[in-house]
Amino acid sequence: MKISMFHLMPHRELPADFEKRYESVWVTPPWGELADARRVGQYYNWTIDELLFAARSGFDGVCTNEHHQNAYGFMPSPNIMGAVLAKATNGSRVAIVQMGATLPTSNPPIRVAEEYAMLDCISGGRLVAGLPLGSPMDVNFCYGITPMEHRERYREAFALTLKAWQAREIFAWNGKYTQLANVNLWPRPIQQPHPPVWVPGSGSISTFDFAVDNNVCYCFLSYSGAKAAKSMMDGYWHVVTDKGKDTNPYRAGFLQLVVVGETDAQAEEKYAKHVEYFYHKCLHWPVQYLSPPGNQDYRSLVAAVAKPLRRAEDPKTLRYRDFVEKGYVIAGSPATVRDRLKEEVIKGLNVGNLMVLLQIGSMPHELTLENIDLFARKVLPELRGEWNQEGWVNHWWPEGLRDAPAPRPSAGTVASRA
Amino acid sequence: MRTEQTISVWQNRVRMRVLSAGQGPALVYCHGPWGLNWDPFLTELAKSFTVYAPEHPGTSPGVPDDIYHLDGLWDLVLCYDELLTALKLEEVALVGHSFGGMVACELAAAVPRRVRRLTLIDPIGFWRDAEPVVNWTMLSPTDMPAYILRDPTGEAAQRMFGPTEPPEAAAAARVRLMWAMGATSKFIWPIPDKGLKKRIHRVSAPTLLIWGKEDRLVPLVYADEFTRRIPGSRLQTVDGAGHAPQVEQPERVARMVREFIGA
């Protein structure tokens, strides 16, 4: 099992009536009214400190990602964050998981291949190369990429990236969207033939096919929890087996929101308002922003209209206990969190690469450190051994950081260690 | 009596269905971003003209992926040129609405000899920072009709956006609308100013601009961009109409077109 801490770098102090006063947290929120650059500088520093604390506390990896023009998570360049993390964790066995730089908005897209190679060099071969398609808000509405060309651009850039890392000779790339006469990457990554590739998705069938055909780790970055993801992930595993691949759980990544207290009641007391802030404010955007016309291919459009994928319930009407009960958030004492993660996510979805979001919405710095600390001390050690007994190899993790599967301690040993 | 035919262009990779009806001189109608509907406006025109209404590539039934064979506006304009050749129409009266107005104007600039008279109804194609064209793909499906029509709940809205009941028919209408918006936005994303200002001087056909006075999507000030660049062109406004005056006032707008073209 590999467990990484994920960070969105959200605005932590939006006004109480934000979702009533503004139409969207993404694309159009007015910076001047809502943010202050010095304060935001503090957020970035807290974010880095929180991820480094997780790295020191025993997490296997630290994750950052790219978004634009929003208050929900604003690391426009995850590689700037990744560079700081890579340097500061040198000498450790923590993976730098970039989830990641967005290919369709990088021009030319070999820029991502270059920066990832830099990160791999700086970190001594600890990079996990996330290659996301990018959200329609970021790619179409903020960065001006034509919705109908979004996926095609991505696929071309993906192929170029993999070739640029591996080609021994200089080559010419005569693509539809990118033409380069002399591709000759400096630097190249340490990891050979290339760093492990993760592709985040949101459940579309065409991405399942793409992930399996390219033999990458498919990551579902969900805010609705494992219960809501079950049928979607089952769909992914069907594609995996249909295409004749093994059901190695490390083929799958999953993001889960987690808050840990000493007891279930204490978790509620400490974290309830931050969880509600996240779902009520940070995910506040008009539903049509998620799928501008042409972004989905025709087959997916027909399927989506016939049977809407989006959850029917409106999270704005839910409160903390609903989010916990429905599994959007896994919350409570270390034992509760451990059991639910194991049952619902790890075994329920067959996931080997778990990402946990431990800084949620308005959660302040000190409380975030507390959440990371409790998780690292009381939950993580009990989950780390999952999948060892089955003998799966995590081909989607930096080779130098893969531990040989060790015999799993008996349940009694685990309990006494807690 | 209305007929339809499907014309293959672009090395047979793009199949365009063309609806036609009527008698008289040839009139080609280019529809807007919400897809083609044979509505009372076209029926009215068909009393005086042989109306040909092609569907934008990718929006004809059964061929959604044809749109992927066109990479830019130049490809699209050449497709229309090929379509007219295939229809054996050397010279036509060209009418375009909204996005279709931009396409018609581009075609008239690219191949001036093909266009006898040009009528543009609330066309796009220009950009003013002070009066931005609304990006209709950012509007919610429930808000959108009010940006396009003065009466967003009436019969005209039903004609333009399709039925809301029963669920199967509503779903089919939704797919059709979304795909039409996607296949057209490909040529104008993210700002519908793709260089017409560099080419519009080539338009030689007498040109009429028709504009709904209450257009909330492409405000009336944009008429100036066209009239000042096309010598001799003139503007007629339509009271009590928004971005689609021909949908809300078909007879009145058809009369303007008929009087301008001269049947």
Is the per-residue pLDDT at A244 higher than 70? yes
Residue B242 has pLDDT above 50, yes or no: yes
**Residues in B touching A152 (Cβ below 8 Å):** 68
Residue A43 pLDDT: 98
Q: Which two tokens stand for residue A170?
A: 């200089």
**pLDDT for A311:** 52
The reported pLDDT for the residue numbered A404 is 53
Contact B189 A302 (CB under 8 A): no
pLDDT of residue B133: 98
pLDDT for res A415: 38
- Residues B7, B12, B13, CA angle at the centre, nearest 5°? 110
Nearest residue, CB atoms, B171 vs list A141, A289, A306: A306
For chain A, the three-class secondary structure string (H helix, E strand, C coil) is CEEEEECCCCCCCCCCCHHHHCCCCECCCCHHHHCCHHHHHHHHHHHHHHHHHHHHHCCCEEEECCCCCECCCCCCCHHHHHHHHHHHCCCCCCEEEECCCCHHHCCCCHHHHHHHHHHHHHHCCCEEEECCCCCHHHHHHHCCCCHHHHHHHHHHHHHHHHHHHHCCCCEEEECCCCEEEEECCCCCCCCCCCCCEEEEECCCHHHHHHHHHCCCEEEEECCCHHHHHHHHHHHHHHHHHHCCCCCCHHHEEEEEEEEECCCHHHHHHHHHHHHHHHHHHHCCCCHHHHCCCCCCCHHHHHHHHHCCCCCCCCHHHCCHHHHHHHCCEEEECHHHHHHHHHHHHHHCCCCCEEEEECCCCCCCHHHHHHHHHHHHHHHHHHHCCCCCCCCCCCCCCCHHHCCCCCCCCCHHHHHHHC
Contact present, A84 and A135 (Cβ < 8 Å): no
Cα A226 to chain centroid, rounded = 15
ipTM value for the complex: 0.95
Average pLDDT, chain B: 97
CA-based nearest distance B81→chain A, Å: 24
Task: Tell me the CATH architecture of domain A2-417.
Answer: Alpha-Beta Barrel (3.20)
Per-residue pLDDT band at A412 (split at 50, 70, 90):
very low
Q: Does residue B236 have a pLDDT over 90?
A: yes
Q: Which regions of B168-261 does DSSP assign to beta strands (E)?
A: 207-212, 234-238
State the Cα angle at B239 between B233 and B243, rounded to 5°.
75
pLDDT level of residue A206 (50, 70, 90 thresholds) = confident
Contact B175 A287 (CB under 8 A): no
C-alpha angle A389-A390-A395 in degrees, rounded to nearest 5 = 110
**Minimal Cβ distance to B179: which of A145, A286, A298:** A298
Confidence at B185, pLDDT banded by 50, 70, 90? very high
Amino acid A204: pLDDT: 78
- Closest residue in B to A24 (Cα) is B138
pLDDT, one tens digit per residue, over A208-226 is 999 999 999 999 998 999 9
Average pLDDT over residues B15-30: 98
For residue range B124-166, list pLDDT tens digits in order: 999 999 999 999 999 999 999 999 999 999 889 988 999 888 9
Q: So what's the pLDDT on residue A203?
A: 76
Whether residues B183 and A148 touch (CB distance < 8 A) is answered with: yes
| Structure-token match 């903390």, residue found | A320
Is the pLDDT reported for residue A410 higher than 50? no
Q: Is the pLDDT of residue A411 over 70?
A: no
Average pLDDT, chain A: 94
User: How far, in Å, CA of B215 to CA of A53, rounded?
Assistant: 56
pLDDT in tens, A114-161: 999 999 999 999 999 999 999 999 999 999 999 999 999 999 999 999
Q: Which of the listed ranges A24-28, A295-299, A388-392 does the model predict with the highest average pLDDT?
A: A24-28
Residues constituting chain B:
263
Residues of chain A positioned with their CB less than 8 A from the CB of B137? 147, 288, 292-293
For the purposes of burial, counting CB atoms within 10 Å of the CB of B28, is it exposed (0-12), middle (13-18) or buried (19 or more)? buried
% residues pLDDT > 90 (chain B): 94
Beta-carbon separation of B185 and A147 below 8 A: yes
Cβ–Cβ below 8 Å for B137 and A287: no
In a mutational test of the A interface, the residue from B59, B143, B185, B191 whose CB has the highest number of chain A CBs within 10 Å is B185
pLDDT at residue number A216: 98
CB contacts of A295 in chain B (<8 Å) are: 182
Across A187-192, average pLDDT: 98
Decide which of B41 and A410 is more confident: B41
Averaged pLDDT, A262-276: 98
pLDDT over 90 percentage in chain A = 90
Residues in B whose CB is inside 8 Å of some CB of A read 64-65, 67-68, 71, 137-141, 171, 174-175, 178-183, 185-186, 189-190
pLDDT attached to residue B66? 98
A147·B140 Cβ contact <8 A: no
Distance from C-alpha of B263 to C-alpha of B258, rounded to nearest angstrom: 6
Query: Hey, how many other C-beta atoms are within 10 angstroms of the C-beta on A355?
Result: 28
| A&B contacts, CB < 8 Å | 64
The full set of domains in chain B, from first to last, is 3-261 (3.40.50.1820)
Percent of chain A with pLDDT over 70: 95
Kindly determine whether residue A176 and residue B71, on different chains, have CB atoms separated by under 8 Å.
yes
Q: What pLDDT was estimated at residue A418?
A: 34
| CB neighbour burial string for A176-186, b if at least 16 within 10 angstroms, e if fewer | ebbebeebebe
- Segment B179-207 mean pLDDT: 98
pLDDT at residue A201 greater than cutoff 80: yes
Cβ-defined contact of B182 to A152 (cutoff 8 Å): no
Residue ranges of the domains in chain A?
A: 2-417
Q: Could you tell me how far CA B194 lies from the centroid of its own chain?
A: 16
User: Distance (Å) from the C-alpha of residue A209 to the closest C-alpha of chain B?
Assistant: 19
